[in-house]
């Protein structure tokens, strides 16, 4: 190999190193866009859930082509990001906005809403995407849960509380873990409300907004506790969680810590607009407690790049930010709509957005699994480290060499830029592995290495 060729390889390697948006915490990512269907269409990712027993991840959203009404979009993905089942359902013109696995069964259920009415439908599926049962749990006379912005929490008794501020008051639905309707109703409030939350005493609930209202276990108003709790409350992007011995309220782009009597302790701004980017809140589940930490999510719009990015932040119990990750992609723009914990303790992120290149009207749905445990810095995600389970040379004329540490049952998967699997092997060992991939055509490829189904390495590999 002559000096010029070596210099070209070194130059290409440096280009990759400094332009690679590693997103090492993204274990896998699934994009559903117009190419998944024959028709031009919008696809939106609204919700996701993980089945702890089967390890399957359920992706639910809405699908709209240019000829028909709203449809329900459902995809089943395993813990490596491989699609197991994928379908759309024309069910009474509904688009899914909530999904939940049913414990100890081979079923899950979705909640979906019509685009032009207040009707909410519950549908039970098996994992082959057969419809088992469906029933309307809200109708035009009883109101609905806003599919774009709602609060969701698990109560002490295991039931699921979903609530939303609407023009007729603060509406709620309580479901059992199996999806059975326990209670629904509207709390008539004459002020702006932003969250409904269970107290530390499970016989008490709190309605949070301009004022603070105490409710009994039947969600009937007991008494007003405080006036002027929140000034000019904004419901969209506002969510509340119990935390340690108090409560945390995320209102748009700020966090407020209260003690258990709702005395305000501290308020922090999580992000601010600059000349380079704008910030947008997340409609649903934008704050999660994980162990003794708080995780938040929102969206940034990069003015220079004309693209959306997802921002995940980590806070300690004193609301001190201890880490931030900005999730980017070379081909797509991300707008996050929902954040949930998966069966592995990672985050399931759902969202939608336009293609980075192409027409703005062509939207896609997004589902990804994200590991929040290694958020340690406040810098853009960049962990392309050749010394840590990364291949070399890169670029390469064919050799793919990788030194694996503490690997037990490693497996390599290689994909082309269209997401097609072009190489797969389990013939790897702990230590140095050398493979000859000279028979693969020149191009850009993406690889993943799993060890006992846990992602230990991923990145880009260039075949010259």
CA distances from 451 to 93, 142, 347, 419, 460 (A): 43, 50, 20, 21, 19
Count CA atoms closer than 13 A to 360's CA, side-chain side: 3
Q: Is 455 helix (H, G, I), strand (E, B) or coil?
A: strand
**CATH code for the part of the protein at 3-19+384-463:** 2.60.40.3080
* Element spanning 214, H or E: strand 212-215
**Poorest-pLDDT segment among 195-199, 207-211, 442-446:** 442-446
Mapped onto helix, strand or coil, the DSSP state of residue 5 is helix
Pick the CATH number of 26-374 from 2.170.190.11, 3.40.640.10, 2.130.10.10, 3.10.150.10: 2.130.10.10
The answer to whether 133 touches 124, Cβ cutoff 8 Å, is yes
> What percentage of the chain reaches a pLDDT higher than 90?
7
Give the CA distances from residue 442 to residues 20, 180, 396, in Å, rounded to whole numbers and listed in that order. Answer: 19, 54, 9
The whole-angstrom separation of Cα 55 and Cα 57 is 7
Highest mean pLDDT among 15-24, 167-176, 401-410: 401-410
Please give the backbone phi and psi of residue 272, each rounded to the nearest 5 degrees, phi first: -140, 145
Question: 61-95 burial string, b = 16+ CB within 10 Å, else e?
Answer: bbbbbeeeebbbbbbbbebbbeeeebebbebbbbb
- CA torsion sign for 430, 436, 439, 441 is positive
Name residues whose C-beta falls within 8 Å of residue 96's C-beta, 6 or more positions apart in sequence: 46, 47, 60, 61, 62, 72, 73, 74, 110, 111, 112
d(CA 436, CA 205): 63
Cα 372 to its chain centre, rounded Å, is 12
Can you list the pairs that 396-399 forms with residues at least 24 positions away whose Cβ atoms lie under 8 Å?
A: 396/437, 396/461, 396/462, 396/463, 396/464, 397/438, 397/463, 397/464, 398/436, 398/437, 398/438, 398/439, 398/440, 398/463, 399/434, 399/435, 399/436, 399/437, 399/438
What is the model's pLDDT at position 216? 94
pLDDT band at 417 (very low <50, low <70, confident <90, very high): low
Confidence of residue 18 (pLDDT cuts 50, 70, 90): very low
For residue 362, the model assigns a pLDDT of 59
pLDDT(91) > 70: no
Question: Residue 215 above 90 pLDDT?
Answer: yes
461 near 414, Cβ under 8 Å? Answer: yes
358 against 161, higher pLDDT: 161
pLDDT given for residue 65 in this prediction: 59
Stated pTM of the model: 0.70
pLDDT of residue 19: 34
pLDDT at position 206: 92
Alpha-carbon distance of 359 to 39, in angstroms, equals: 15
What pLDDT is attached to residue 153? 85
**Residues in CB range of 325: below 8 A, 6 or more apart:** 23, 25, 311, 312, 372, 375, 381
Least confident of 285-289, 342-346, 381-385: 381-385
Residue 389 has a pLDDT of 65
149, exposed or middle or buried, with CB in 10 Å at 0-12, 13-18, 19+?
buried
Which stretch of 54-58, 216-220, 262-266 has the lowest confidence by average pLDDT? 54-58
Cα-flanking dihedrals φ and ψ of residue 7, to 5°? -65, -40
| CB neighbours of residue 351 within 10 Å | 28
Domain ranges (residues) in the chain = 3-19+384-463, 26-374
SS3 294: strand
120 close to 113: Cβ distance less than 8 angstroms: yes
pLDDT at residue 115 greater than cutoff 70: no
Kindly report, residue by residue over 370-406, the tens digit of the pLDDT: 888 767 544 333 333 323 567 878 888 888 888 888 8
Report the run of H or E that residue 18 belongs to, with start and end. Answer: helix 3-19
Q: Are 354 and 362 in contact (CB under 8 A)?
A: yes
Least confident of 21-30, 269-278, 280-289, 291-300: 21-30
Q: Which of 39-53, 156-170, 291-305 has the lowest mean pLDDT?
A: 39-53
Report the percentage of the chain scoring pLDDT > 70: 74
Same fold, 3-19+384-463 and 26-374: no
> Which range among 16-20, 144-148, 272-276 shows the weakest confidence by mean pLDDT?
16-20
Mean pLDDT of 342-362: 68
């Amino acid at each position: 190999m002559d000096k010029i060729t070596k210099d070209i390889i070194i130059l290409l390697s440096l280009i990759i190193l400094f332009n690679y948006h590693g997103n090492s915490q993204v274990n896998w990512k699934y994009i559903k866009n117009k190419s998944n269907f024959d028709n031009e269409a919008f696809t939106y990712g609204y919700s996701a859930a993980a089945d702890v027993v089967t390890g399957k991840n359920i992706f639910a959203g809405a699908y709209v082509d240019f000829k028909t009404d709203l449809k329900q979009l459902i995809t089943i993905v395993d813990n490596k990001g491989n699609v197991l089942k994928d379908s759309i359902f024309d069910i009474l013109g509904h688009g899914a906005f909530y999904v939940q696995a049913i414990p100890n069964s081979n079923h899950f259920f979705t909640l979906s809403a019509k685009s032009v009415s207040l009707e909410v439908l519950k549908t039970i599926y098996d994992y082959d995407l057969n419809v088992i049962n469906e029933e309307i749990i809200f109708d035009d006379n009883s109101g609905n849960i806003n599919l774009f912005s709602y609060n969701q929490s698990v109560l002490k008794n295991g039931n699921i509380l979903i609530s939303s501020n609407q023009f007729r008051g603060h509406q709620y639905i309580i479901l059992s873990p199996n999806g059975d309707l326990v209670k629904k109703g509207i709390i008539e409030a004459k002020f702006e409300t932003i969250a409904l939350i269970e107290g530390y005493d499970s016989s008490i609930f709190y309605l949070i907004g301009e004022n603070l209202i105490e409710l009994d276990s039947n969600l009937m108003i007991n008494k007003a506790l405080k006036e002027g709790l929140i000034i000019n409350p904004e419901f969209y992007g506002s969510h509340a969680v119990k935390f340690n011995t108090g409560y945390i309220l995320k209102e748009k782009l700020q966090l407020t810590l209260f003690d258990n009597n709702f005395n305000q302790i501290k308020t922090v701004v999580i992000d601010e607009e600059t000349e380079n980017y704008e910030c947008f809140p997340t409609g649903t589940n934008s704050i999660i407690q994980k162990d003794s930490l708080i995780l938040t999510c929102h969206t940034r719009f990069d003015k220079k790049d004309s693209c959306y990015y997802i921002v995940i932040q980590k806070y300690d119990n004193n609301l001190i930010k201890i880490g931030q990750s900005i999730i980017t992609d070379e081909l797509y723009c991300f707008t996050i709509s929902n954040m949930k914990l998966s069966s592995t303790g990672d985050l399931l992120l759902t969202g939608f957005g336009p293609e980075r290149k192409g027409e703005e009207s062509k939207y896609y749905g997004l589902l990804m699994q994200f590991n929040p445990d290694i958020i340690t810095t406040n810098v853009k995600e960049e962990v392309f480290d050749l010394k840590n389970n990364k291949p070399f040379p890169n670029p390469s004329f064919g050799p793919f060499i990788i030194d694996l540490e503490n690997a037990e049952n490693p497996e390599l998967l290689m994909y082309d830029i269209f997401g097609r699997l072009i190489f797969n092997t389990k013939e790897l060992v702990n230590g140095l592995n050398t493979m000859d991939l000279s028979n693969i055509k020149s191009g850009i490829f993406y690889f993943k290495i799993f060890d006992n189904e846990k992602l230990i390495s991923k990145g880009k590999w260039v075949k010259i």
